[in-house]
Structure 1
Amino acid sequence: MTLRELRIADYRIADDTDAYVIAEIGHNHEGSLDKAEELFRQAAAAGAHAAKLQKRDNRSLFTKAMYNEPYTGRNSYGPTYGAHREALEFGRTEYAHLVALAADLGIHFLSTAFDQRSVDFLVDLDLPAIKIASADVTNTPLLAYAAKSGKPLILSTGGATMEEVRRACDTILPIQPDLALLQCTAVYPASPSDLHLKVIGTYREEYPDTVIGFSGHDLGPELSWIAYAQGARVIEKHFTLDHSRPGSDHHFSLDGPQLAELTEGLRRTREALGEPAKQRSETEAKAVRKMGKKLVAARDLPAGHVLTEQDVLCKSPGDGMKPYQLDEVIGRALRIGIGEDTGFEPAMLAEPVRAGAAAGADHGAD
């Protein structure tokens, strides 16, 4: 059987591994390199495998009208939408600094590319993988361009139909098979009923060679554990220093303690799932002996006694012949006398007399 597998730098992601956890910072750094540094440090301390930003070439990404439209309110970082986006955008200096910081912290630095110039920007910095946002599932020119970069891709699928997901995968996979396909819902925050985690199984069935994941906008870490149990091996959650900060993402993001709870819970989930083969473990042996049953003598029985059902009971502990072996006891004679509650053993039972052998012995006597 083919084992789906994806490698991001030195980390192997597969069905038999822990989840690869991405702390999605987005623009929760609020344009501050100091805050970004702290987010990276807390993500690493919480056990995340990667910290992720978002990269846009704003002037080429938005129409002039959208770039210049007024943008005011609590979440605004500039008087127009373009100014707001530029205030939150990191350039080469900040990215290079964070590349070095991530290396020191021992985590990966990833980013979402929203346009082709941003793909080039991230490739030039040699980030180990590129994320493509749900908004670009239908952007086949961008998908193809990113696939040709040679970098592993991570694709979220919020707001997409299955037809659109197939088109996206048909665009990427012939060029770049190193893809993680993430179930996602474009609701912020998403309620449990929005998540449709069974889609993870749908993706796994349709793409048996592709690592499947979950990008969650739900509150808290718990439902990501269920996603792992459904087969998701990349888990992406938004991450913040403070839920109360202005910005559209802070309120549904995880903070440091919640991210640590997420990563620890994912490890526990893998441990709990265990192996698919049903077998008795060494840790069960004590309980199996204590609570299990064995075949014992119902009363004192003499040597030579031929055993009947009335001579045998099932009692604990379960350290002898099992109840399902009753047919191996009934009808056989005891080689030795035994006391009440003595457990039966094959060695104490005479071999049963075969019907054919008995008939032959009678014929010879005639």
Structure 2
Amino acid sequence: MPKRTLFIAEAGVNHNGSLSQALALVDVAADAGADVVKFQTFKATNLVTASARKADYQVSNTGEAGGQLEMLRRLELSPADHLALLQRCRERGIRFMSTAFDPQSLDFLATLDMPAIKIPSGDITHAPMALQAARLRRPLIVSTGMSTLADIEAMLGVLAFGLTCQSAPSGRRDFDAARCSPQGEAALREFVTLLHCTTQYPAPPEAVNLLAMDTMAQAFNLPVGYSDHTIGIEVSIAAVARGATVIEKHFTLDRALPGPDHAASLEPSELKQLVAAIRVVERALGSRTKAPAPAELDNRSVARRSIVAARPLSRGEVLTLDSLAFKRPGTGLPPLECWDLIGKPAARDYAEDDLILP
């Protein structure tokens, strides 16, 4: 059986800065059967400058222009909020996780019980923080939206160095050497999962390029998953069928709520439907062996055909193709053997539709 897909229900900043709303998101994710519910941890002033503009999708989804700083200030969660969310996750039987967007937030999250450290797409080039994350020696999930293979390769060099070396790096050469070393390759296989992603909210299906998952898996020999920003559930399901080991999907209490990510998020009933569909696909994937499933074996005799007499035949009559027919059930000789019978005498008298004996 294939390995269970880790499903991360991405709450992100869809709490709109409200702890009660964040707690409700934990409950929705747990009710849906998600493995993990994930938030975002940052201090706005450590993440953006006052001049950082909103992305076009953020302007469209929030209905207001302006900069990122004020928007992000409204979406911060305090350390106490995180502890409350972690406690609710424990009560509901779902793992807590959050993405750090600045070094101080990463230090704080390192003190919490999380299944992995997430490196977001926007930080694929943030080598200092990636080095900090790698040195925690926790499972690492690296999202690759907006990235080329060269971007990913460079990030993997930083992570390989951080996982295997405690000294200070002198530059790119150290990272490249670590990535290509046997120790670095082994560390990457042990700790790193890559997520294919399209950084647009929502992402149109024609921008997804899901086959790039295969390219990433072949290029880096690492587990690959998918961070889904499309509307609906179909693309996530397709990603699991292509071998995604992790699925991350945004969800919200209500798509009509104000905020940058609600429009590209699933509502509670859709989230539950997606998790259920993924579990069905996992069971359906099975193994690479092509053989009858146990449930099929009894049906072979019902669905397949046997060689039968096309008309009454007398013992000793020479069999021809016209004297034979091919009908269910498949309890006799298979049609493939008809040519071995042609030109031979009938072994006995046959009524029409009798099974022909060898």
Q: 2:211 aligns with which of 180, 198, 210?
A: 198
User: Structure 1 stretch 211-220 or stretch 300-309: which is displaced more?
Assistant: 300-309
SS of equivalent to 2:226? strand
Alignment of 1:263-342 (within 5 A): 263-285=275-297, 288-342=300-354
| Cα displacement (A) at 1:65 | 5.3
Q: 1:23 aligns with which of 9, 27, 49?
A: 9
Structure 1 residue 180 corresponds to structure 2 residue 197: no
Letter in 2 for 1:246: P
Alignment of 1:1-366 (within 5 A): 16-63=2-49, 75=62, 82-173=69-160, 175=163, 176-177=187-188, 178-208=191-221, 210-285=222-297, 288-346=300-358
In the alignment, is the contact (CA less than 8 A) between 2:49 and 2:69 conserved in 1? no
| Bigger relative contact order, structure 1 or 2 (CA pairs below 8 A, ≥6 apart) | 2
Measure the CA separation in 2 of the matches of 1:309 and 1:82. 83
Measure the CA separation in 1 of the matches of 2:269 and 2:60. 30
**1:340–1:73 Cα change, 3 Å:** closer
- Structure 2: gaps (5+ residues): 54-58, 164-186
SS of equivalent to 1:259? helix
| Cα displacement (A) at 1:185 | 0.8
* Number of positions where the alignment pairs a residue of Structure 1 with one of Structure 2: 327
Measure the CA separation in 2 of the matches of 1:302 and 1:280. 38
RMSD of aligned Cα (Å): 2.7
Letter in 2 for 1:162: L
| Cα displacement (A) at 1:64 | 5.7
In the alignment, is the contact (CA less than 8 A) between 2:11 and 2:252 conserved in 1? yes
In the alignment, is the contact (CA less than 8 A) between 2:8 and 2:37 conserved in 1? yes
**1:344–1:128 Cα change, 3 Å:** same
TM (normalized to structure 2)?
0.83
In the alignment, is the contact (CA less than 8 A) between 1:204 and 1:231 conserved in 2? no
TM (normalized to structure 1)?
0.81
Letter in 1 for 2:199: A
Measure the CA separation in 2 of the matches of 1:251 and 1:95. 24
What do the CA deviations read for 1:243-284 (whole angstroms, capped 9, x no partner)? 111111111111101101111111222234333322233444
In the alignment, is the contact (CA less than 8 A) between 1:243 and 1:251 conserved in 2? yes
Measure the CA separation in 1 of the matches of 2:293 and 2:52. 62
Partner of 1:356: none
| Cα displacement (A) at 1:74 | 9.1
| Cα displacement (A) at 1:100 | 1.6
SS of equivalent to 1:247? coil
- Flag the structure with larger Rg: 1
What do the CA deviations read for 1:32-81 (whole angstroms, capped 9, x no partner)? 111111100110101111110111133333336559xxxx999499x985
Letter in 1 for 2:276: E
User: Structure 1 stretch 33-42 or stretch 300-309: which is displaced more?
Assistant: 300-309
